[in-house]
Amino acid sequence: MLILRIAIDVLIAIGAIFALAGTLGVMRMPDTFCRMQASTCVTTLGVIGVGLGALLYAIFIMGSAATAVKVLVICGLVLVTNPVGAHAIAKGAYQAGIRPEKRMETEDYRRDFDE
């Protein structure tokens, strides 16, 4: 039981650390697109870590199948919907006129889409 508790705590701590890193990145990165990159940290390992910890907790300590399935569905839905939103936000931001702050070395997108 102790090992289980430790495993759950470690998983949730890993998730929290990556969520912290992503949040710091959102505040510190130089432009919109880099901030979006940092936020993916939160939605991948942050969610997976906390979700796995919650899953173990739901199965072995709460003993509730409904909670376990809900945790799985939440993780799955976040992982499936996050990239779709990210495509839309990145493309929308670019088309709305937001440009990367630094002078980029590789600007294929600008060459092809900005006449």
Partner 1 sequence: MHKTSFAGVASTFLLCFIFWILLTWSADAQELITGAMISLAVALFSSRFFIHENPTWFLNPVKLLNGIAFWLFIFPVELVKANVDVAKRCFTGCKNVNPGIVKVPVNLKSMYGQAALANAITLTPGTITMEITEEDGRTYYYIHWIDAKLPGGEEAGEAIKGRLERGLRRVWE
Q: Under the criterion CB under 8 A, does residue 107 sit at the interface with partner 1?
A: yes
CA distance 44 to 78: 8
**2 vs 83 by CB, closer to partner 1:** 83
27 close to 20: Cβ distance less than 8 angstroms: no
Q: Under the criterion CB under 8 A, does residue 22 sit at the interface with partner 1?
A: yes
CA distance 35 to 38: 5
Q: Under the criterion CB under 8 A, does residue 36 sit at the interface with partner 1?
A: yes
Q: Is the dihedral of CA 59, 63, 65, 66 positive or negative?
A: negative
Could you list the residues that contact partner 1 (CB under 8 A)? 17-18, 21-22, 24-25, 28-31, 33-34, 36-38, 40-41, 43-45, 65-66, 69-70, 73, 77, 79-80, 82-84, 86-87, 90-91, 94, 100, 102, 104-110, 112-113
